[in-house]
Each structure stands twice: as structure tokens, then as C-alpha cells.
Amino acid sequence: MSVYISEGKVKELEVKANLIRQTLIQMLVAAGSGHTAGPLGMADIFTALYFHVLKHDPKKPDWPERDRLILSNGHISPVRYAAMAHAGYFSLEEAMTLRKFGSPLQGHPERERLPGIETTSGPLGSGLGQSAGYAYGARMDGKKFRVYCLMSDGEQDAGNTWESAMFASNNKLSNLTAVIDRNNIQIDGMTEQVMPLEPLRSKYEAFNWHVLEVDGHNIEQFVDAVEEAKAIYEKPTLILAHTIPGKGIKEIEFDYNWHGKPPKPDEAKRFLAELRTLRGKIRSEHE
């Protein structure tokens, strides 16, 4: 049992993650475009971040002491927007404007459009460098906030990711925690067929990072890993989170074809029914 989060809080977050999955499905249908598999797979981690881990204030998104959350793989923005809406950054109604002209909720996050977004993301491979710069700057300024960088596994193909990994370890950026969504898919297929990444853990360890592996759908494991990262003072930490793309929707789990397409209205109806049934099971198991 975790000493950092209670069983009751974990179950509360599991229910919240299910609601966030429902919201992002509704957002994608309203938009008629966007990514489905990755956002579903990261719902548990985003729920843990916004409702337990991060030091932040939705009413004061520019609070100087807030933790910084940088999303490198910006294409999974629907799950971040859904989590932010449920956390109170904006309304659920506004969440349904995803990808609409004039909406602050673009297909990739844009810093100047939406309060609470730290960077504009899109080109994969940029987030770790941005995060390392933030962490380095925080240390120079004597700031105590932490920097969290979320990355996809596919973007580990980008060379600038590894330049940033070297910079972070060379400067012993212990205030930086990176999270890789290890879901094994990218737009053209499975990562180990497109461009093999393994041994991924050993690579980061060779770059002098502290590496932890977790089940990305186990909120307790993720919270424990985040807390362990805070106790590491001589190097940055990487959390390798093993996730199931499309998590919660059995017919699309592990299907890379759902990497970059939204559900049609009839599909969304089935998906939402499945998620609502699952939510009922989660609640009944812990009442």
C-alpha cells in the first residue's frame, strides 16, 4: 500500500479518469478530427497529475510557484484539455470547441491561446529540451517548482530528444521528471517495427537518468514513482509508463489505426456506453 496516496483517493481518481475518457470522446466527435488512442491511454496519468500531483491553481494559471507541465507530444491534447476542463480551467462546454476556428483548444496546444499551457507543441522531440531549459532556469532563479515533461515513445526517434537528455543529466536537473507514454504505437505502426526503441530503459540509464517503470494505468504506482523522483537529488528522473493505447475501449485497444483518427458518431455512442458501464463497475467495486 502506498504511503503517498490513500486507497480511497485512488478509487476517486479512477472514477475521474473514466469521466475524462468520456469527455475526450465527446470532444473528438464534436471536432470531427483528432487523436483517439493516445489520449485514452494517458487518461489515468493526466488525472493523477491534475488532481493529485501538480502544484497548480486553475483560478490563477500564471501563479509563479506552480509546477510546469510540458506536453511534448501535443497531438494527445484532447486528454489534457479534458483534464483541465474537469479541474476548472474552463467549462466542459468550451471543451467541445476542440479544433474549431477561433477556439483556444487547438489540435496542438498553443501557449498564447490558452491559460495554463506552458509551451506551444507540435513538432515531436522538442518537449524535453524545453523542459530541461525550464528546469535549468528554475535552478538559476532559486525556484522550488518542479517540471514535468510528457513524451510519446515514437518521438524518441528524434535526435534532439537525446541531445536534451544529455543536457539534463550533465546539469543534474533533479527538478525535472520526464514521463514516456510507452504504448508501443506510432502513426505508421508498432514502434518496434518502425524504429525499434528497446532497450529504452537502458538507453536513458546510460545517459545517467534515474529510470522507473510503472503500469501507466495504475495510479498508485505512478504517484509513488513521482514521489521517488522528488527524493533523487543528483540526476533527472524518467518514468517509463507502460500504457494501452485506446484504454477503456476494447475494440480499439492496441490498434495503431486509431492513433490519429476520431470516432464517428455511431462509434462514439458505443464507446461512451462501454465507458459508462465501466464507471459503474469501478464504483460498485469500492462502495
Residue extents of the structural domains in the chain = 7-285
E-state strands within 16-118: 68-71
Distances 75 to 34, 237, 280 between C-alpha atoms, Å = 8, 23, 30
Question: Which sign, positive or negative, has the C-alpha torsion 62, 67, 73, 77?
Answer: negative
Residue 233 has pLDDT above 90, yes or no: yes
- What fold does the segment set 7-285 form as a domain? Rossmann fold (3.40.50)
Residue 11 has pLDDT above 90, yes or no: yes
Question: Average pLDDT, stretch 74-93?
Answer: 97
Give the model's pLDDT for residue 287.
58
Question: Average pLDDT, stretch 190-200?
Answer: 94
- Please give the single-letter amino acid code of residue 78: P
Mean pLDDT of the chain: 95
pLDDT category at 286 given cuts 50, 70, 90 is low
Give the model's pLDDT for residue 92.
97
* pLDDT tens digits, one per residue of 106-151: 999 999 999 999 999 878 999 999 999 999 999 999 999 999 999 9
What is residue 190's DSSP assignment? E
Distances 2 to 44, 122, 216, 223, 229 between C-alpha atoms, Å = 17, 36, 16, 9, 15
* pLDDT tens digits, one per residue of 92-117: 999 999 999 999 999 999 999 999 99
Question: Average pLDDT, stretch 153-175?
Answer: 97
DSSP assignments along 204-223, one per residue: HHHTT-EEEEEETT-HHHHH
Q: Which residue has the cell 462509434?
A: 267
* pLDDT tens digits, one per residue of 13-68: 999 999 999 999 999 999 999 999 999 999 999 999 999 999 999 999 999 999 99
Give the model's pLDDT for residue 283.
72
